[in-house]
Structure formats: C-alpha cells, structure tokens
Structure 1
C-alpha cells in the first residue's frame, strides 16, 4: 500500500499525500511515486494540470521522515543521501513543470512539505496554514529549495524564518512570496470540485484556473510579522550570527529579545550555516544552484553530531534538551562553516545545474 494516491479526473491529475497519522511526512517511496507520476503526466497530452493535496485534517505535509534520517545517520548508512538526491530532484521538477501545478497548502506545511508545494505554479494557503522551516532546531538547515525561497523574501524576513523556524501564517506566506492565493478553508472543497469538473486543456485551462482562483480567493490576512518588520530588517542585517543575536537582545523590544533566546536554543553550527546558506543563495540565479548547494550542506549536516542529537532530543526521546557541539555561536569558527559548502567529489554532487 502506497502513501501517495494518484488519480485522474478529466484533464486534472490529482496527487494526494496519504499518510495522515504522520501529517503526511515524506518517505523515499513517496518521493519516488510523486516524481514518477509527474514524469508520466508531463508528456501525457490528456493531463492538463496537477493538483497536490494532503489527507487528514492536520496539514499538507510535516516534512521528511526525520526519525528514519536519525536511525540511518546513527548507523552510518547512505539511505538519507539517496532520499535527498531524489527529493531535491523532485523539487526542481516541480519548479520547471510544464503544466499548471496547484498545491493546497492547508494546515501544517514544514520542511519537505515546502519542497513539494512552495515551487508550484499556483500556491494556495488558508487561514489554517502554518508554514515553517524549523531545521536549525534539529541540527539541520533549510533545504528542499527553502534557501532559494527564503532568500527572496522581502527584507530579512526569510533570514528570521530560517534561523528561528518561526511558523508563518497565510498573510506572512503571501507577503514573503511563499504563496500566491488565500482561499478560506470552507471554499477549498468548491475549488477542488470546480477543478474536477474542468474539461479544457492547454492555455485555456491555465486561464480557467486563474479565473477560478480569482473568484474564490480573498485578500490575504495582514502578515503577523508586519509590526516586527522594522526590527527584523535592522537586526538581521548584521554581518554575523553573533551580531544578529546581540542586536536582537539589545533592541529593547520584547519580541526581539525573545527571538534572541530562541536562536540561542538552536544548533549554533546550523544557525551559522543557515545564515551563510541564505546569503549565498541571494547571489544565485536558479533554484538548481541552490539545491546543489543544499545537497552539499545536507550531507555535511548528517555526518555532524548535531543532527542526530537534535532529532534525538526533539523527536526520539523528546526531552527537548539537545547538547550541541560546539555549544555556543562563538565556538563555531569560519573554517567549520566553510567546510559545509566545500564541493563534493565527482559523482557525489547532485549536479542539477549541470543538467544531471
């Protein structure tokens, strides 16, 4: 039994993540099924568009199966690297998909869930949407193209989201360029039903979807980070992670001071690597470049002690007291950070920019 349901209704191909007990967290098999389905539909003239949804009431997708990653890392296996290689290729496929791809980002959308929805051509959020890239809390950094998306958010909002793992509502998602349309939850069934009744294909279908969304969508709510924008832009513009935390702590704003404490609880190494990842991604010209970089960084993370320890503390033992190594930002030197971005050897590279 697969954890992804695929079906056809007229010119619409439906992909439903169907692992509700785990908030549809992605497994390698699920990634392969989605990729194979999309590859087949891309050249099938009878398929005009793709719609992605998640089963259950809790969310579209809570990310990847981090417990499996934890177990593989502890055993020194290579299953995680194989999973990421296929997952990042799927993210790139979605970004360049030749047909409309509509993702309903209802409920929780975290980590890998952003990867299968945030690169879609049509991204729908609801009042229940909570988007997050919480990787620094488990000894990891934003991946699945998350650095590309967050680096292009207005001002320093993406940096704030990357370093803290803050959950973003619909208003923030739209304002930051992570989503396009706000459709209230009670209108989502009507949206899906109308898509299922569609019979046109080609450019006419894309135009029809646009009209349908315009009819059912409402103006997005005000971004919850709006009132905090001034101190976010000011503090996160500092040159180093240490300077960012110091600026937050000295801001005289309670929310900013609390944010400094939050960052202090994250993996110091991953906070610094995440910051460098975003700043490098800002200079890139394609998602493929960012994914290639993320693959290098991800492999270095899984080989480092903080990822196993972070997942242990947050997911396995749930004691919420990770013992990071190094323990504080000041102990993470520039040479260690740079090592996460060093090229891999030959065939180990993801190589999306080279067309692999």
Structure 2
C-alpha cells in the first residue's frame, strides 16, 4: 500500500489498483475546506494518468459522517467581512463536482453516516454510490438561508416525480432505503462489510465487488408517500405548495417550509425548475454559482448559519420574513450572468 503526502483534513493512498480518498475531519463531521477540495482535485488529476490506478474510492473517517457539507461557518465569517473566500471555494468545489461526474475511471463513494450538502456533491456524482444503515442523505441548504448547490439541483430535479422538490425545499435527509428509492444512491452495503469492500476494490472492479457484499436495504417509507409528495410539490409557486400541504393536512412538511428562509425557498424552487431544462451538469453548476454568489450577499445567508451553527438558537430572523414578501424581480436577477465573471468549466466530453 502506497500512502501519499497528505493535506490537512484529507488522506490519500493507493492500495493495489484503487486510489483512496479519506476525508479526515471526524470531529467536524468531515466538512470540506478549500484546502481539502484542492487536494482531492490534484490527486484525481494524478490518478487519471496513472495506469496502475484503475478506480477511486471516496470515504469518510470516523463513524458519524461521510461528509456533512462545506465549512459554512468560515464562509459566513468571510462574507460578513466582505471577502471573496466563499466564491473562491465554490469555484473550486463546483469544478471538482463536475470532475467527478466526468471522471474516466469508476469512482466509488461510501456514504456511511451523514452525507449532506457538499457530501452529496462528492458522492452524488460518483459512478457507484454506496450507502450503509447509518447513512443520512440530504441537501439542508434552505435551513441556513442558502440554496442547493454542488450540482444538487441537477441531481434533485431528475429524481422521480417531485421527490427532489420535496427534499430540497424541506431540507429532509433520508435513510439508506429511501436514498436508493429516490435515486441518490445505488447500493446498500452493511457497515460491517465495508472493510471487506474496501479491501476487495484493490484487486477487483466495483460492479462485481459491490454486488458480492451488498444486501437488501431496510424497508423504504418513500413509496407510500409518493402520491402526496407528487401532488403537493408539483406547483411552480412556493405559496401554492404551502396551500396544498395545508389542504392535505401534511403538518410535518408544512411546518418545515414555514421555518425555512422564504427567499431560499423561492430561489430553490426556481433553480430546480430551470435545472430540469438544462442539458448537462456543467450548466447546472454554472447556474448554481450565479445564484450562490448573490445569495452570499443576502442577509439570510449569514443569519441562517448564525441560528443553526454559531449561536444555535434555531430562531433565525429571515428578511423578508414571508414567502409573499419575496421580490420576484430580484429572484429573476439572481440567474443572470455575473458582472465579475461566471464559473469556468470545460465543456462536457463529446462521448457524453
């Protein structure tokens, strides 16, 4: 086994034919930093041209999380100071998401524990997406005054029916069975068999290896909920979705929406509807970058992170405070090209 020089928060090694990325900030739930993103991208570049590395494995250290997203507390601090660290981070992170989606070698991601936000950006675009019984997969951005990014609008807008709309607006995280049913994961492997899977990838391809250790996931709850989800979340207006949930007496998702940032809800729904019409993940990431760059300067971004992750009082004061008060003209403007320059991604390969 060959171990590479490591960066803070992430380890790299080559074991036989597999290059292994281990997110290594377990006390921070393996949240991504800019240095981690750059280091992962550099190693993927190296392994792409290494004939001995035939596949890649991405995993998280510890027993609580694969990756709980980006280090948004630090991004908030920089945003309040008027800095550009968030834009620099997102530029490289979104480029990495696109890189994984187009990587020419199989990429296996093991979502053991929390896989949220940026964690979905890593695993969701992988060719082989594994969940364990401890997996909890979701995009929680509306709880912090943000919007789904890292290619999340591309993934969510292509889930069956309105499942992606429900997940995005309510910030619901789902377990392993529902993640597979929804289309955010492909395989269920019991956690006790992950070391076996990891070792086998050194000598065998992912399809046969994962199949040899996979199992039937726990029973899904999503199938029985699809009817009301598809009905209530089919609207292109958040206020109509709220009315539909109220009429259907769906208290839990209704209360979730009423606690979220109204601006984030409206922007998220518009992002999903637009993303569904886009031709490729690169276009979705470009759209997300434009929206994120503008959300960064709104009061809800800093306020949502404060309430959830800094002061932890869970009592954000959203501005504006209601869905009806959200300025539709401003929402439309968030999707326009950025004066300072858009995200620059290589075009999709012709083979795609």
Pairwise same-fold verdict (TM > 0.5): yes
Matching residue within 237, 244, 249 for 2:246: 249
Contact 1:140/1:270 (8 A) holds in 2: yes
Q: 1:113, CA displacement in angstroms?
A: 0.6
Structure 1 residue runs of 5 or longer lacking an equivalent are 199-204
User: 1:281-296 to 2 correspondence within 5 Å?
Assistant: 281-296=275-290
- Measured on the aligned residues, the alpha-carbon RMSD in Å equals 1.2
Aligned to 2:4: none
Do residues 178 (structure 1) and 171 (structure 2) align?
no
Matching residue within 264, 267, 275 for 2:258: 264
Supply the distance in 2 between the matched residues of 1:102 and 1:241 (Cα, whole angstroms): 36
Q: 1:337, CA displacement in angstroms?
A: 1.3
Supply the distance in 2 between the matched residues of 1:246 and 1:336 (Cα, whole angstroms): 23
Matching residue within 270, 274, 283 for 1:280: 274
Query: 4+ runs of 1 displaced by more than 3 Å?
Result: none
Structure 2 residue runs of 5 or longer lacking an equivalent are 1-6
Contact 1:245/1:260 (8 A) holds in 2: yes
Contact 2:181/2:222 (8 A) holds in 1: no
Q: 1:214, CA displacement in angstroms?
A: 1.3
Contact 2:176/2:217 (8 A) holds in 1: yes
Corresponding residue SS for 1:72: helix
User: 1:71-82 to 2 correspondence within 5 Å?
Assistant: 71-82=77-88
- Over 3 Å counting, the alpha-carbon distance change for 1:354 and 1:344 in structure 2 is farther
Aligned to 2:327: 333
Corresponding residue SS for 2:96: helix
Contact 1:292/1:353 (8 A) holds in 2: no
Aligned to 1:221: 218
Supply the distance in 1 between the matched residues of 2:219 and 2:162 (Cα, whole angstroms): 18
Contact 2:97/2:151 (8 A) holds in 1: yes
Q: 1:161, CA displacement in angstroms?
A: 0.4
Do residues 98 (structure 1) and 104 (structure 2) align?
yes
Contact 1:169/1:224 (8 A) holds in 2: no
Matching residue within 316, 319, 326 for 2:313: 319
Q: 1:304, CA displacement in angstroms?
A: 0.6
Aligned to 2:3: none
Do residues 167 (structure 1) and 164 (structure 2) align?
no
Q: 1:353, CA displacement in angstroms?
A: 6.0
**Paired residues, number:** 342
Supply the distance in 2 between the matched residues of 1:298 and 1:49 (Cα, whole angstroms): 32
Contact 2:108/2:206 (8 A) holds in 1: no
Supply the distance in 1 between the matched residues of 2:179 and 2:35 (Cα, whole angstroms): 29
- Over 3 Å counting, the alpha-carbon distance change for 1:186 and 1:354 in structure 2 is closer
Corresponding residue SS for 1:303: coil
Q: 1:224, CA displacement in angstroms?
A: 2.2
Aligned to 2:161: 155
